[in-house]
Amino acid sequence: MKAAFFDGEGSMEVKDFSDPVPGIGDAIIDVKSTGICGSDLLMNAEKTAADEVPAGHEVAGEIVEVGPGVNKDMLGSRVAIETIGHGRACGECWYCRIGQYRQCLDMAPQEGGGFAEYIKRRASGCYTVSDSMTWSESALVEPLAVSIHGVRRGALSGGQTVAILGSGTIGLTAVVAARQLGAGTIIVTARHKQQADMALALGADHAVSPEGDELRDILFEKTEGRGSDITIETVGGKEPATLIQSIDVTRMQGKIVILGGFRNPLTIDWLTPLLKEQSFIFSQCYSIIDGIHDYELAVDMLAHRDTHLGEIVTHKFPLDDIEKGFQTAYNKSTGSIKVQIHQ
């Protein structure tokens, strides 16, 4: 099959790769759509060697083969694939038994992601999507589930004021998740016009520049000087600026949910959040909470609620043009928000 790899020198290249073979409990999925995630862009920028297996974790497709122990009725199913946790989890360790598949102690080896014609994962980690959902929407299940998980871990209560730092894919899916799960006022920061416009279209009440005091000023105006009840940090990076901003704009005894990946040791003055009695909640990927997997909620939101989330997909490229896709995703002057690879 064809698959795409980072070449170790700054580009993505398509070449032949071995076809996946199903084992016990596995499914083979014909990949239809895969999103280029911000983490794909960041990791490629930091890599010094070529990929040995294809990346890509925002994946949707059709099950075309199953291994022993899998109900053959799954053949032909349209699915969003939980590639990172449930799709590779052992299903038997303590974390798996309580639905925390991302924390599995005996993950299956990484054999490749969705930047390929086919992908193998545990059949139990394949979540059926509605026939009404496009392949673009189906590949958004994964990032929406990330944000749903963060909002649920933050225990959002109806009517609370939410600040969201960043309006990339995770920031925008956080707008949808917070709105659908009962947020009151939602205020986001956005660096690019297309991101600000999309955040407002998806349900944010205000979109402001990440620079200066605009976020702080509007939050304090809307909350009688308190600040946000919950701040969701989605930027991450190598500097602590958005963490410091989160501490500043969140009210006393408020919550800061960290979805962004911080990749360097950071120096933070912890006295301020200590005195404000703020709670930091780290959130990574997805799991079962209160008996429901975040993927299930994401599928429900995309299939049965008027979220308009599919509108964030601004560009689609075939697998052979994946390098153009990555360059478009890097270059926001193209108007890009979410770039996907379609087959």
What pTM was computed for the model? 0.96
Alpha carbon of residue 258 to chain centroid: 13
The number of CA neighbours under 13 Å toward the Cβ of 270 is 4
Q: Which pLDDT score, from 0 to 100, does residue 44 have?
A: 86
101-119 mean pLDDT: 96
Predicted confidence band of residue 48 (pLDDT cuts 50, 70, 90): confident
Instruction: Give the position of tokens 């940090």.
Output: 233
Which CB contacts under 8 angstroms, 24+ apart, belong to 244-248?
Answer: 244/268, 245/165, 245/210, 245/215, 246/163, 246/165, 247/272, 247/273, 247/276, 247/278, 248/216, 248/272
Q: Where are the domains of the chain?
A: 2-142+288-342, 155-282
In this model, does residue 60 exceed pLDDT 90? yes
Per-residue pLDDT reduced to its tens digit, 63-81? 999 999 999 999 999 999 9
Per-residue pLDDT reduced to its tens digit, 130-153? 999 999 999 999 999 999 999 999
Predicted confidence band of residue 43 (pLDDT cuts 50, 70, 90): confident
In the chain, DSSP assigns E strands to 2-6, 12-16, 26-35, 58-66, 78-82, 118-122, 126-128, 162-165, 186-189, 206-208, 228-233, 250-258, 279-282, 288-289, 292-293, 313-318, 338-342
Q: Which pLDDT score, from 0 to 100, does residue 45 have?
A: 82
Q: Which pLDDT score, from 0 to 100, does residue 42 have?
A: 83
Per-residue pLDDT reduced to its tens digit, 217-246? 999 999 999 999 999 999 998 899 999 999
Residue 79 near residue 127, CB atoms below 8 Å: yes
3-state class of 195 per DSSP? helix
Short-list 225, 248, 247, 228, CA closest to 157: 228
DSSP states along 46-77: H--S--SS----EEEEEEEEE-TTS-GGGTT-
Token digits of residue 141? 């299940």
Q: Which CATH code for domain 2-142+288-342?
A: 3.90.180.10
Q: Which pLDDT score, from 0 to 100, does residue 293 have?
A: 97
In this model, does residue 22 exceed pLDDT 90? yes
Predicted confidence band of residue 264 (pLDDT cuts 50, 70, 90): confident
Q: Which CATH code for domain 155-282?
A: 3.40.50.720
Token digits of residue 237? 């990076």
3-state class of 293 per DSSP? strand
238-261 mean pLDDT: 96
